[in-house]
Amino acid sequence: MNRWLAFWTWLGICGAWAQVVPLPSEERALEGVLELRPGSFAAVPVDGGPFFLETLNRAGAGVKMAPADAGAVIQFLSLDSLPPGHAVPGEGGYVLRITPEVANVHAATPEGRVHGLMTLVQLIEAAPKTDGGPLKIACREIVDTPRFGWRGFMLDESRHFTGVDGVKRLIDAMARYKLNRLHWHLTDSAGWRIEILKYPKLAKVGGRGTETDRRAEAPAAYYTQKQIREIVAYAKERAVVVVPEIDMPGHADAAVAAYPEHDGGGYEQKGDPRKWPRFTFNPAREETLKFLDDILAEVADLFPEAGVIHFGGDEVHFGWKKWPQLPEVKALMEREKLKDLAGVEAWFNRRMAGTIDRLGFKTGGWDEIAARGLATDKTLIWWWHHDKPQVLKEALAAGYPVILTPRRPCYFDFLQDPGHKVGRVWGGINPLADVYQFPASLGLTAEQEKGVLGLQACLWTETTVTQARRDFMTWPRLVALAEAAWTPAARKDFADFEQRLRPQIAWLKQRGIASWDPFEKTLEVTDAGAAPEYPDLPE
């Protein structure tokens, strides 16, 4: 009887390994079990000690910081401490070795250490629990390297505002699933969400209201520079890089509302004359260019490690009808011998990319900019037109590094289940399985995939007025995107992923994240009758 009990206990311990998300790239079983007892010591990185200990103990490890002269049952070490000839992970990767005596995480970088931590944490959470006894973790070795270096999520703050606490909670969940880029869409026509000290009206006037609250007396919702620095530091500790997006020359209404002298004209959205008559900046006015230079300088200072500043560059043709009437544009076209408005747009893009380059960053933009003559070694392209695969192929052929974020299956404002009613449906929906299988559906060659930096999901927030609705549309699809971006294609298995996903939905809900549950088919969260939320407003 005891032998059978021991057998089933061993199976339960080994089964814990099946719950890691994203699935590691390589793993093998070792003999034995590590017993993690309450009060054991952990030797954690000096620069992230409190975060590492807090994360381990929230998972149930019950460990304490190891004194300098004490042995530790959990250790974070360099790759140099691996046995001679041992396999070494690639960039951003780690080795996790669990023996009956110790759990060692080996990594070359802070990012790799955080990724190893998150795998270990999931194993601790899944370990069989006993009253006051040790956690029992099956011995294993993992050599884990991400498939793609860029594993991202874009949060649109312009249309509806999230606030500091909501962004931090998002970063926590991203870090758990080894997502490493938060693309922060801070400006658009609906609202300007970043404080610029030289031009305070950008936030205080341009930040008023939301997509669904256009009242003149609506509060101004934006992030102060102090809050932004706090969020960037919080993300860095969790191996998440925050990449800012400051839209130009289109999607500019909020900025032009604050400083109308920079108006380049726009268009009128059918049925609503407030959207968007000031869609563009004046692309040729010297004072406007200086205005944008000043903004970018402050942005660069706030996001020193972003590596790239995203300047939008999309859908400009919707609002450039007034450009031929602007004297500055007429003079520019004559001076530079520009034949059409696309030429004006290209000139503007090159001008602002020069500013971004001088600030020490690469220029990022939506896939329209791939046709605007920007330097391939200084530009990142976000491919979003799922219905224009030739744009992707041309960008890759030209040598641009590309982030794959096509509307299908990577836009999370699309429906995720046929039974849901609220959200976009453009030729189909974006179910969990489609997100998980991506990017296999593109049929990229090995040579083409070399030019792909990674994958990114996007949440546009026109139809997500509340945080509960944003959570519902984001999760668990973002978990699927995380595994699609991390796990080698040959290891991916959707049925297996679904089994590992179940406890992750429980974790999300425990953290107050209102994920949709595709297994229980929980009710659709809509914003019918909901008022816009304004959390964490500046004083």
Give the number of other Cβ atoms within 10 Å of residue 3's Cβ: 6
399 CB neighbour count, 10 Å cutoff: 11
Determine the pLDDT at residue 90.
95
Query: What does pTM read for this prediction?
Result: 0.96
CA distance 286 to 50: 49
Task: Give the number of other Cβ atoms within 10 Å of residue 64's Cβ.
Answer: 15
Determine the pLDDT at residue 273: 84
CB atoms near residue 426 (< 10 Å):
12
User: Rounded to an integer, what distance in angstroms lies between the CA atom of residue 32 and that of residue 10?
Assistant: 10
C-alpha closest to that of 83 among 24, 145, 43, 143: 143
Give the span between the Cα atoms of 113 and 45, in whole angstroms: 8
The full DSSP string for 149-166 is SEEEEEEE-SSS---HHH
| Omega of the bond leading into 503 within 30 degrees of 0 (cis) | no
Rg (Cα) of the chain, in Å, rounded? 25
Among 37, 264, 232, smallest CA distance to 130 is for: 37
504 backbone dihedrals φ, ψ, rounded to 5°: -70, -35
Cα–Cα distance between 494 and 480 in angstroms, integer? 9
Residue 312 is classified by DSSP as E
Q: What is the pLDDT of residues 500-530, one digit of tens each?
A: 999 999 999 999 999 999 999 999 999 998 9
Given a cut of 50, the residues of the chain with pLDDT beneath it are 1-12, 14, 16-17
Q: Which CATH number fits domain 2-144: 3.30.1360.170, 3.30.379.10, 3.40.50.2300, 3.40.1390.40?
A: 3.30.379.10
The pLDDT, as a whole number, for residue 18 is 56
**Contact criterion met (CB below 8 Å) for 528 and 463:** no
DSSP 452: E
Residue 85 per-residue DSSP state: T
CA distances (Å), origin 502, targets 112, 324, 342, 479, 485: 26, 57, 49, 11, 20
Distance CA 462, CA 460 (A): 6
What count of residues does the chain have?
539
Q: Give the contacts of 335 (CB within 8 A, at least 6 positions apart).
A: none
Locate 19 and state its tokens.
Answer: 């719950």
pLDDT of residue 6: 40
Is 310 one of the catalytic residues?
no
- Nearest Cα neighbor of 292 from 260, 255, 257, 320 is 255
Instruction: Please check whether residue 279 is in contact with residue 319, taking contact to mean a CB–CB distance below 8 angstroms.
Output: yes
CA distance 307 to 319: 30
| Domain locations in the chain as residue ranges | 2-144, 150-186+221-243+285-323+364-510
Catalytic one of 156, 188, 213, 517:
188
Catalytic residue among 106, 115, 251, 420: 251
What amino acid occupies position 392?
Answer: L
Decide if 366 contacts 341 (C-beta within 8 A). no
Does residue 315 carry a catalytic annotation?
A: yes
User: What token pair was written down for 251?
Assistant: 């999607």
Give the model's pLDDT for residue 3: 44
Closest CA to 143 of 29, 26, 18: 26
Note the CATH number of domain 150-186+221-243+285-323+364-510.
Answer: 3.20.20.80
What is the b/e burial string over 514-528, where b = at least 16 CB atoms within 10 angstroms of the residue's CB?
Answer: bbbbbeeeeebbbbe
Integer angstrom CA distances of residue 221 from 113, 191, 308, 467, 468: 36, 8, 25, 15, 18
Looking at residue 347, what is its pLDDT?
98
Calpha distance 382→370 (Å, rounded): 9
Tell me whether residue 188 is one of the annotated catalytic residues. Answer: yes
